[in-house]
Amino acid sequence: MHAKLTGMVGAGHRTIRRLLIALAVALTLAVGVGIGYLIPHKLSPSERVAPRSEDVTTSLQVNTVFRVATSEKLVALTFDDGPDPRWTPTVLDILAKHDAKATFFVIGEAAKKHPELIAREAAEGHEIGIHEWQHVDYLNQEFSDLSKRLRDTREAIIAAGAPEPTLGRPPYGRLDSPSLRVYADLGLDAVLWSHHFPGAHAADVRARNEASASPGMIVLAHDGRRDPTDALMSEIDAFITSLKAKGYRFVTISELRQHAAKTAN
């Protein structure tokens, strides 16, 4: 009996020891992974570079705009991640109510699925630009893959009846050498933003955007994926109403840039 108890105690100790060893290994791995996230990855000189352009004889360049300088009270509202059958019609109805124009940076997959919404955007005088095929970070894609996805997005826009896009906006606002080269190949300029209008705390955001409003501002909002809410739609409506009362007009990105060029001249 004593021997049996001794054997059981020994087995218990061995089990506990194995568990402690496994726990120590797991903690070591977790710490290692955590440190890997904390220490920035240093790219080698050969990573994330654009293809060579030795055989290209035409211009390759990309203009990037966060906002423009203009003497006129003009605002460019922009919407990302659509078209969405739930939210895009609501946005279009709000814009029509105020006779306001906007620029939509669309998801290619959604544009192919809902061409009627792209067609309505174009028919009502809005501008349509390229976002991404499925909202994948450009920096996570090889040059050839990104080029195909953005070309497919362009084709979906054109197939829906809209003009060939001349503007692009990267998901998360992230661009690098390969993605800039894709933009150059497609004849796109990059549009970022000076003001953000997220769905969270939309009333507070509206008040802040109104207080900091100035001619030439570019406002980022969303009509697709997870950000839009009824509250956001209401606050966008109120934002347009407020700025119109102060003499502002809402125009597309291309219209805004044209007025900026006139100001410069």
Question: In sequence order, what E strands does 25-142 have?
Answer: 64-65, 74-80, 102-107, 127-132
Would you give the distance in Å from CA 107 to the centre of its chain? Answer: 10
Give, in degrees to the nearest 5, the angle at Cα 173 between 160 and 38: 140
Q: List residues with catalytic annotation.
A: 80, 222
96 Rama sector, left if φ>0, alpha if ψ -120 to 50, beta otherwise:
alpha
- Residues 150, 152, 157, 158: is their CA dihedral positive or negative? positive
Residue with tokens 């791995």: 29
Phi, psi (rounded to 5 degrees) for 143: -55, -50
